[in-house]
Structure 1
Amino acid sequence: MGTRYTYIARRRARGAVRPVAIAIVAIVAALAAASWFLIVRPYRQQMQLDAGLAPSAPAAGKAEATQAEAAPANLQALDVNQLLNEASKALKAQRYLAPAGNNAFEFYLRVLAKQPDNPVATSALRETFPFAASDAEQSVNSRNFDEAQREIDLLAKADPANYTLTILRSKLDAQRKLASQQEQQTQDQQKAAQLAAQKATADKLEAAKQAEQLQAQQALAAEQAKAKQQKAAEQPQTATQPQGQTQTASTETAGAQNSSAVLLKAVQARYPTAALRTGQAGWVLVGFTVTAEGATSNVHVVDAQPRHVFDRAAMDAIERYRFKPAMRDGNPVESTNEQKIEFSTGR
C-alpha cells in the first residue's frame, strides 16, 4: 500500500514539473531572439560599417555615385583615417577597381603602404576581392583590354597568390588573341578582294591586247595577200607571146596556193599569282612550230624580261593557239613563228 502511494506521488510531481520546463525553454528562446535583434545584429552592422563593407547598391546607383564622386586633390597628403574614409565611400559606390585613382582597392593599398598591418584595409581587400574580380572580368569580356590589364594588376597587388588572377589573365589573353584573329581575318578578306579586283582588271586588259594582236595579224595577212594579188596583176602580158601568158597565170596560181600561217584562235595567258600580288610586269618572246594541222609544237622561250617569271604562263597559252597552217603549192605545211606576250597589271 505504501509503495502504491509513493508511485502516485511521483507521477503527480512529474506532471507539475513539465509546465515549468516548458516555460523556462520559452523564456530562453525569447531572450536569444531579443539578443540577436538588439545586440548581435546591430553589432555586426556596426562592424561592417567600420570596415567600410556597406550593403551593395543597385547598378544604376553605382554608376551615379561613380560619376558624382571626385578623387581627392592630393592623395599623398591623406592620412590613414582619411584614406579609410575615402575607401569606404568607394565601396558604397561599388567603385572597387575603377576609375583609376579613385577606387576602393587603391585607397586600401595606400593604407597598407602607410600601415602594413592595418586590419581594416587587410580585411576589406580580402572580403571585396571577389566583387572586384567580377568587375575585372566584365572589362575583359567587353574587350577593354588596357583597363582590364590595369584592374588585374591592381588585384595582384592586393592578393598576388589568388588563383582567380590566373583565370582572369587566361581570359584576357584569349580575348586578345580572338580580337587579333578577327582583325587579321578582316584584313585578309579585304586584301583578297583587292587582289581579285586587280586580277579582273588585268585579265580584261590582257584580253583586249590579245584581241588587238589578233586583229593586227589578220589585217597583216590580208594586206600580204592583197599585195601578192597586185604584184601578180602587174606582170606583163602579151597576146603574141603565149608562153608569157602561161608564166603569168602560173605566178598567180602559185601566189594563191602559197601563204603563211594565220592565227585563228588565241588564248589569254594566265597571270602568275605571285607576280600579280607584287604588281610585277614583263614580256616573253615565244618561238614555236605551226604543224600542218594548225596546232603548235616545239614551244620554247626565245627571250623574256624578267627571266623565269612569266615563261610557263606564256608557253601554256601558245600551246593552246590554233592556226590556219601555212600553204605551199596548195598543200598545208609546217612553219615556224614567234609571238611576244606581254604581262602588265595596268597600274
Structure 2
Amino acid sequence: MDTRITLEARHGARGAVRPVTLVAIAVIVMLAIASWFLIIQPHEEMVLSDAGGHPSTPVTPGTVAAPPPANVEAMGTDQLLSEARKAMNDQRYLAPAGNNAFEFYLKALEREPGNAVATDALRETFPFAASSAEQAINARNFNEAQREIDLLAKADPANFTLTILRSKLDAQRKLQDKEQQQASDQERQQQLAAQKAAEEKAAADKAAEAQQASTTAPKGTTAGSTRNAASSQAAETAAAPAPVQAAPTSTPAVLIRSVNPRYPTQAQRARTEGYVVLSFTVTSEGRTSNIKVTEAQPRRVFDRAAIDAVERWEFKPATRNGEPVDSTLTNRINFTLGQP
C-alpha cells in the first residue's frame, strides 16, 4: 500500500474532528441558555414574587395597622407556609412579633426539619429582613432591633450581616448615650449659671439696701453717740456666747437616670430567672465605676447584662458640706421573665 495515501487519510480524519467539537460546544451553550430562561429565571421570579420585590428594593413600612400575634402552635406546616407567604407579600419579614414571615418559616422547620420551601425562603429573604432590622436601628428602636437580630440569628447564625447589624446597634446605643450625656451636662451648666446669677443679684440687692440705709441715717447723730453705740455693740458682742461650729452635713447619691438591663438571649430561651447584687462607686461627677458582682443567682448568667446596665446609670453625686464627693452603693437587679 502507498504510504502517502495512508498519511493523507489520517490528516483528513484529524481535520474532521474540529467541526464536530465546535458543534458540541455550540449545543452545550444553547442548552445552558435555554436552562437559564426556562428554569432558573422563572424560579427566581417566583421567589421574588413571594418576597415582594428585588433585594435592592428598599423596605418601606406599611401603612396598615399591624396584625395581632398568630397562634402558631395550633397551625400545621402547610398553614404556617401559607401564612409566611402572606407575611412576605405584606413585607412583614421580622415584625410584628408573633406574626411575621421568619417566625412562621422557623416554626415550619421546627415541625418539619429540612423543609425545602422554608429553608429556601429564609435564605432568599434574609437580605430583606436584614434591611428591616437596620431600619429599626436607624430609628433608634433598640429593643425591637435586638429582637429582630436575634430572630435573624436563628435562621442563619453564621451570616456576616449579623456582625454588621450588631456593630451598628452598639454604635447607635453609644451615640444616644453620648447625646443624652451632653444634654445632661448642658442642663447642669445652665442650672449652675442661673444659680450664680441669682446669688450675684442677691448680693447686689443687699449692698444697695446697706448703702440706702447709711444715706438716710439721722443728721443729729454725733461722734459721741456713735462711740457709745459702738461701745454698746462691742459689749453685746463680748457677752454673746461663742457660736457653736455646725456639724458637717452630707447627702447620699441619688439615681437620676437608669437603664434597664437586656435579658440574655440564652437565659430567655431556657426560661431562666435570677438576680445579681452589685457594688459600685458613684464618682463626684455622678458616673459609676469599680463595678463588682458581690452575689449572683445563678452565677455568671446575668452578670454581664447587669454590669452593662449599671455602667450607663447616672447619679446626682453625694455631697459633704455642699461639695460633691465619691460614694459607694450596693444594688440588686432582678431578672424576671416577662419584665419590661
* TM-score normalized with structure 2 length: 0.54
Pick one of 112, 115, 132 that aligns with 2:112.
115
Within-5 A mapping of 1:58-207: 59=57, 63=60, 66-67=62-63, 75-76=71-72, 78-91=75-88, 95-160=92-157, 164-207=161-204
- The answer to whether residue 45 in structure 2 is matched with residue 27 in structure 1 is no
**Cα shift at 1:148:** 0.7
Q: 1:162 to 1:29 in 2, by over 3 A?
A: closer
1:339 corresponding residue in structure 2:
none
Deviations 1:30-80 (A, max 9, x none): 3213322334653334655479678616636x548x557985995545432
**Cα shift at 1:208:** 1.3
| Structure 2: distance between partners of 1:217 and 1:69 | 76
**Cα shift at 1:186:** 1.0
**Cα shift at 1:115:** 1.7
Q: 1:78 to 1:68 in 2, by over 3 A?
A: farther
Contact kept, 8 Å, 1:140 with 1:148, in 2: the verdict is yes
Specify every segment of 5 or more residues in structure 2 that has no aligned partner in the other structure, as ranges. Answer: 231-236, 250-340
| Amino acid corresponding to residue 227 of structure 1 in structure 2 | T
**Cα shift at 1:192:** 1.8
Specify every segment of 5 or more residues in structure 1 that has no aligned partner in the other structure, as ranges. Answer: 230-254, 262-286, 288-300, 310-347
| Structure 1: distance between partners of 2:66 and 2:225 | 102
2:7 corresponding residue in structure 1:
10
1:56 aligned counterpart, secondary structure: coil
**Cα shift at 1:188:** 2.4
Deviations 1:281-335 (A, max 9, x none): xxxxxx9xxxxxxxxxxxxx964896779xxxxxxxxxxxxxxxxxxxxxxxxxx
Contact kept, 8 Å, 1:129 with 1:155, in 2: the verdict is yes
2:221 corresponding residue in structure 1:
227
Contact kept, 8 Å, 1:97 with 1:135, in 2: the verdict is yes
Contact kept, 8 Å, 1:96 with 1:104, in 2: the verdict is yes
Contact kept, 8 Å, 1:57 with 1:92, in 2: the verdict is no
Q: 1:204 to 1:74 in 2, by over 3 A?
A: closer
| Structure 1: distance between partners of 2:244 and 2:203 | 17
More helix by share: 1
| Structure 1: distance between partners of 2:82 and 2:200 | 74
| Amino acid corresponding to residue 228 of structure 1 in structure 2 | T
Contact kept, 8 Å, 1:84 with 1:111, in 2: the verdict is yes
1:226 aligned counterpart, secondary structure: coil
Contact kept, 8 Å, 1:57 with 1:94, in 2: the verdict is no
Q: 1:303 to 1:11 in 2, by over 3 A?
A: farther
| Structure 2: distance between partners of 1:219 and 1:68 | 79
Larger CA Rg, structure 1 vs 2: 1
| Structure 2: distance between partners of 1:107 and 1:213 | 82
Contact kept, 8 Å, 1:88 with 1:104, in 2: the verdict is yes
| Structure 1: distance between partners of 2:47 and 2:190 | 64
Contact kept, 8 Å, 2:52 with 2:91, in 1: the verdict is no
When the two chains are superposed, the root-mean-square deviation of aligned CA atoms in Å is 4.3
| Structure 1: distance between partners of 2:242 and 2:207 | 20
Q: 1:186 to 1:174 in 2, by over 3 A?
A: same
Residue correspondences, number = 238
